[in-house]
Amino acid sequence: MAKLGPGQGLGCEAAEGSLVPSRKREYKPCGKHTEGKRPLYAIGFNFMDARYYDVFATVGGNRVTTYRCLENGSFAVLQAYVDEDKDESFYTLSWARDHVDGSPLLVAAGSNGIIRVINCATEKLAKSFVGHGDSINEIRTQALKPSLIISASKDESVRLWNVHTGICILVFAGAGGHRNEVLSVDFHPSDIERFASCGMDNTVKIWSMKEFWLYVDKSYSWTDLPSKFPTKYVQFPVLIAAVHSNYVDCTRWLGDFILSKSVDNEIVLWEPKTKEQSPGEGSIDILQKYPVPECDIWFIKFSCDFHFNQLAIERLLIAYLES
């Protein structure tokens, strides 16, 4: 399957933009809390439930902690979960929601490759998912169906899970899959059947679940053991894009466009053009390149605000997306 490079697009050079530090607003810390002596690898607000937009969580070491923002600008600890494995190191978290009773769920995973699902309403560990053969680098929740999560692993695979039933529905790996560690994944914001993944094989891959959506529906009515579910393997993405020449450690959808970051010290905005009936055949248009200095250390993530007007990355803090 051919990999699409930057030259296979509009036929012209991409414009070079800039990530301009925000000067329109003054940001200053208004609260501080130290969690042990181990580094924190992820933080996330609960944008899956309007009731809890002021609640966020952090992961680091074998600990998951939730907080609530207070009116005076500070924050308070709500809950803390400490994993039974003292050697666990959580790398990623994502908020989800039980599709039956609407309970807020916090999903975390890391070095031991086990996904922990914590029910924040009951303050108990609800489920543990075993399936990946190595550490898990990122988990994302499908905002249109927040009981579905997707996980990216060092074992070169991506897996789709139903957090309510504990079923691994689909595994994305094989002939057309990643050839090295998968570092990041993201669901399309409006196309529920599509997501993107990227990793240490220097590629971004776009996958479609349209052909297998029957199994997604089936996972909600399954009454037997999760291990007996007929998990399907998806071997071929609809597009493989070689936008970068080095590790791609973060990717996010921006509408139908994609923002992807590499250790080449840049974030690239590009448009994938796929052909559903001809997997692997398509094109990409590189629209904008944003230099990001001093980001040659891999696993530096970025994130956008709710309206996609601002982008935050560790080295730049808050910046505006400008052309």
Q: What is the pLDDT of residue 20?
A: 56
Give the least confident one: 74-83, 134-143, 146-155: 74-83
Flag whether pLDDT at 273 surpasses 60: yes
Domains and CATH numbers, the chain: 1-30+135-156+181-208+227-323 (2.130.10.10)
Tell me the pLDDT tens digit for each residue of 168-215. 999 999 999 999 999 999 999 999 999 999 999 999 999 999 999 999
pLDDT at 130: 94
Using one digit for the tens of pLDDT, what is the confidence trace for 92-133? Answer: 999 999 988 999 999 999 999 999 999 999 999 999 999 999
pTM: 0.88
pLDDT at 6: 47
Indicate if the pLDDT at residue 285 is higher than 70: yes
What average pLDDT does the structure give for the chain?
Answer: 88
Dig out the tokens for 302 from the structure: 């970025």
- Stronger pLDDT, 36 or 116, i.e. the higher one: 116
